[in-house]
Structure 1
Amino acid sequence: MKLANPRSISPTLLVLLLSLLMGLQPIATDLYLPSLPELTRSLGGSMAQAQLTLTSLLLGFGLSQLVWGPLSDRFGRRLVLISGMGLFTLASIGAALAGSMQGLVGWRGLQGLAMGASMMGARAVIRDLYQPAEGARVMSKALGGLGLIACFSGPLGGWLAQHLGWRAALGGVALFGAVVLAMLLWRQPETLQQPDRDALKPTRLLGNWGLILRHPTFWCQAMISAFSFGGLFTFLSLATFVFSSDLGLSQSAFGLVMLSMSLLYIAGTFVCRRLLTRFGLRRTIAIAGGLSLTGGLGLALATWLELASAWATALPFGLYIMAHGIHQPCAQTGSIAPFPQAAGTASAWGGCLAMVMAFGNGQTLGWLISHDWVTPRLALGWGVLFWAALVALNAWTAVQRHGEVRTPLKRLG
């Protein structure tokens, strides 16, 4: 296998590949969100079933990483990434051709299972090649690329839904998957220098799990990532219904709202790199925690005052999404930093916890908005504040005590 290190692989190419892999998540969500009301009507589904098309994706995404992670530690990153991307492309074609809501939910779940390989693999590749501090900077660049992809996803999804229909939007997801698969086959090197031949043995697997799940650095950093994503997922779940159904925005205008959120996320990744250089990992997360809480409070206040304006909703959440762009590079690299010999497994657990939490959040949101006394706007405002408060509390307490690894830790296995 062709091996890579920071000197033998072009940094630009590496960031491009990582951005494409991480970009699967906004492509699989943002591209189809503007068409969600239309496809729900077309397939005769309910609002709860529409919610399930997103939560099934995220549940599969989260749980599958526990399988993909050890597989990548055993067989390498390249094989797992290519296998996952091939399956993702096939599942995306199935989703575009689905004839019922039940079928669409099933295909979306399979998409999520396959997508787990991409995010897990991208984080593991960074840990293979870089030490934690530099890895956070590389991650911020890759997540900036993710934000750029998300910039086009919302408006393009809105245009496709308005002019070609919801199947075209889901077909765009399949096309993106095929392009990423071709790029992996063409240029992705193997970055794992020493595969763990015992990684799939029950004793080694359970031992690695135990060491990871007992480590305080893993928990405080993984929870920052998971809590911050919880607020983003609340927005993704409810934004279509708030901006289009409640506030009356067209599909194209909603796409522009999503574009603005993506631009602010990209800005957050740039701010992240500046803060890391000046303040270090823990203080950067603490500053971002304050931004998260301010955004959450602003959105809850707009909800409480019943401000029926797209600006009143978008501006405070824009602050939250900018903080999200700071949290994710720091937390995703920080959570796997202590485990260089099991980066795939550690990455898998971090991703799994975030997605399982998001699935529970989605089920709760679906139940809440099925009742007349909870509007989507109410659920959005108070839901984002809930996650913002958890982010800030963790950022200001646990991360400050356990959030940075200064010396190499015990070798796994």
Structure 2
Amino acid sequence: MTPSTPAFRNALPVTAILVLLFGTQPVAMDLYLPALPEIAGRFGGRMGQAQWTLTAYLLAFGISQLFVGALSDRFGRRKTLLCGLACYIAAAAIGALAPSLGVLVASRALLGAATAACVTSARAVIRDCYSGQDGMGIMARSMTGMSAIALVSPVIGGVATSLLGWTSTIAMIAVFGVAAWIAVYTTFTETATTTGGSARIGIGVLLCHPQFLASSFLAGCSFSGAVSFLLLSPFIFIGKFGMSRIAYGLVPAICSLAFLSGTVFCRHYLARVPVPEVIRLAAMLSVAGGIGQLLLWHAGILTPWSILASQCLYMFGHGIHQPCGQAGSVAPFPQFAGRAAAVSGFIIIATAFAVGQAVSHSSLPPAQTLMTVLALAACAIACLGWLAIPRAYRLAEAGQARAAMCSDNS
């Protein structure tokens, strides 16, 4: 299917819609990051309490995917997206007016559930319209646009926090939601070929598929390192190194630029080499960035630039792992794309949430915590990218060959 098919009307291409839908996640996560220290001070909380605004978002985002994926299969992508975006707008509006940290955390949880509807449905739309490496290419292209949004979000958030206060960053999330809702309502029609019974696939069937499992955990482990950096970086760069909020806004923006570069590289590299080879190379970059950061720290080198350079290397690999992992987990299940995207998304977010909890409760200094977590994430990525993923794709190819032989014999 191409953007000119009836699924997209009035000229907005498929990638533009997908970028807006995937963009709901970095806007919700990155735009308010520079305001975290101010939020902690405003409500009289400590670092860990303020970080609950992010961990609650991630927890709701992960759990909700288990439900919205099935709803997307049963009721269609369009209805799920419109309802999800409406909740996204409402949650951001509540957060901007929150009188207490508890209300803010609750609104962030609702925002996470709404984001789950957008992201899960977007992944299902890709599987509805594209298959195999074509789907991974479209996923990479969509994530290129998403990372461009992530690139500017913390910069805008830093300026807005300094000039208007932390509530302005939450209000901007609502504005983005309104724009996405209008785009979906006016340009997007249904892509799911069937609804209703397709939501009945069991989770056990998905969890027994090697490609689904390996791809999901690859994306989850890679995302864990990125989330750990988001959680800890304000307290490292602002708290330890004394950066201003505006200057700090450039830190996640630079990392987003590295992620964007990785998605562009992924899209072009996929056109020439098999998926396992692309992931193998990305795993090398993840190891170099994650373990390299720890080695620099042990060598006594701990500066903003040493942390940022290593993190950018890690994020370049992350930009390859995400499209390959997310699209690779859904690819074997064209009739159950919503459900597969939901369970895979839950695995990704649950992994990141568990790591985020460990980070929030760490007794180590923030910089040391970051080095340790990234090194462990890099080791897990290496095992998956160099061992589990190649084996899973070999098994999938062998299964397809057997199915083709049986079809020829019949």
Shorter-chain TM range is over 0.9
User: Structure 1 residues 158 and 333, CA, compared in 2 at 3 Å: closer, same or farther?
Assistant: same
Counterpart Cα distance in 1 of 2:224 and 2:256? 17
Please tell me the root mean square deviation across aligned C-alpha atoms, in Å. Answer: 1.7
CA apart distance, 1:307? 2.7
Counterpart Cα distance in 2 of 1:349 and 1:306? 42
SS of residue matched to 2:162: helix
> Is 1:362 the equivalent of 2:362?
no
SS of residue matched to 2:332: coil
Task: Spell out, residue by residue over 1:86-128, the C-alpha distance to the aligned partner (whole angstroms, 9 max, x if none).
Answer: 0011001111111111111111011111110111011100000
Match of residue 402, structure 1, among 380, 389, 392 = 392
**What residue number does 2:160 align with?**
160
CA apart distance, 1:5? 5.4
User: Structure 1 residues 306 and 96, CA, compared in 2 at 3 Å: closer, same or farther?
Assistant: farther
**What residue number does 1:111 align with?**
111
**What residue number does 2:310 align with?**
316
CA apart distance, 1:270? 1.1
Counterpart Cα distance in 1 of 2:265 and 2:18? 20
CA apart distance, 1:171? 0.8
Q: Map residues 177-256 of structure 1 onto 2, 5 A cutoff.
A: 177-195=177-195, 197-199=196-198, 204=200, 207-256=201-250
Counterpart Cα distance in 1 of 2:331 and 2:130? 10
Match of residue 255, structure 2, among 261, 266, 272 = 261
CA apart distance, 1:409? 10
User: Structure 1 residues 49 and 228, CA, compared in 2 at 3 Å: closer, same or farther?
Assistant: same
User: Structure 1 residues 216 and 93, CA, compared in 2 at 3 Å: closer, same or farther?
Assistant: same
Counterpart Cα distance in 2 of 1:237 and 1:12? 35
**What residue number does 1:292 align with?**
286
Give the unaligned 5+ runs of structure 1: none
Conservation of the 8 A alpha-carbon contact between 1:338 and 1:408: no
CA apart distance, 1:60? 0.3
Counterpart Cα distance in 2 of 1:229 and 1:85? 23
Aligned partner letter, 2:160? L
CA apart distance, 1:386? 0.8
Conservation of the 8 A alpha-carbon contact between 2:87 and 2:114: yes
> Is 1:125 the equivalent of 2:125?
yes
* TM-score (norm: length of structure 1): 0.93
CA apart distance, 1:302? 2.6
Conservation of the 8 A alpha-carbon contact between 2:198 and 2:335: no
Counterpart Cα distance in 2 of 1:154 and 1:246? 19
SS of residue matched to 1:403: helix
Give percent identity, aligned residues only. 38
Conservation of the 8 A alpha-carbon contact between 1:157 and 1:255: yes
Task: Give the number of equivalent residue pairs.
Answer: 397
Aligned partner letter, 1:151? L
**What residue number does 2:95 align with?**
95
Task: Spell out, residue by residue over 1:367-393, the C-alpha distance to the aligned partner (whole angstroms, 9 max, x if none).
Answer: 11xx3xx10000011111111110111
Aligned partner letter, 1:400? P
Counterpart Cα distance in 1 of 2:223 and 2:402? 28
Aligned partner letter, 2:383? L
Counterpart Cα distance in 2 of 1:5 and 1:19? 16
CA apart distance, 1:198? 2.6
Aligned partner letter, 1:76? G
Give the unaligned 5+ runs of structure 2: 404-410
> Is 1:81 the equivalent of 2:75?
no
* TM-score (norm: length of structure 2): 0.94
Counterpart Cα distance in 2 of 1:91 and 1:375? 33
**What residue number does 2:379 align with?**
389
Conservation of the 8 A alpha-carbon contact between 1:93 and 1:174: yes
> Is 1:37 the equivalent of 2:37?
yes
**What residue number does 2:70 align with?**
70
Aligned partner letter, 1:375? P
CA apart distance, 1:278? 2.0
Counterpart Cα distance in 2 of 1:353 and 1:31? 24
Task: Spell out, residue by residue over 1:46-84, the C-alpha distance to the aligned partner (whole angstroms, 9 max, x if none).
Answer: 211111110100010011011000111111101001110
Conservation of the 8 A alpha-carbon contact between 2:127 and 2:337: yes
**What residue number does 2:329 align with?**
335
SS of residue matched to 2:202: helix
CA apart distance, 1:305? 3.0
**What residue number does 1:25 align with?**
25
CA apart distance, 1:310? 0.8
**What residue number does 1:379 align with?**
369
Conservation of the 8 A alpha-carbon contact between 1:136 and 1:329: yes
Conservation of the 8 A alpha-carbon contact between 2:4 and 2:13: no
Conservation of the 8 A alpha-carbon contact between 1:51 and 1:362: no
Conservation of the 8 A alpha-carbon contact between 2:230 and 2:252: no
**What residue number does 2:407 align with?**
none
Task: Spell out, residue by residue over 1:144-176, the C-alpha distance to the aligned partner (whole angstroms, 9 max, x if none).
Answer: 000110111010000001111000011111111
**What residue number does 2:272 align with?**
278
Conservation of the 8 A alpha-carbon contact between 1:298 and 1:316: yes
Conservation of the 8 A alpha-carbon contact between 2:223 and 2:318: yes
**What residue number does 2:408 align with?**
none
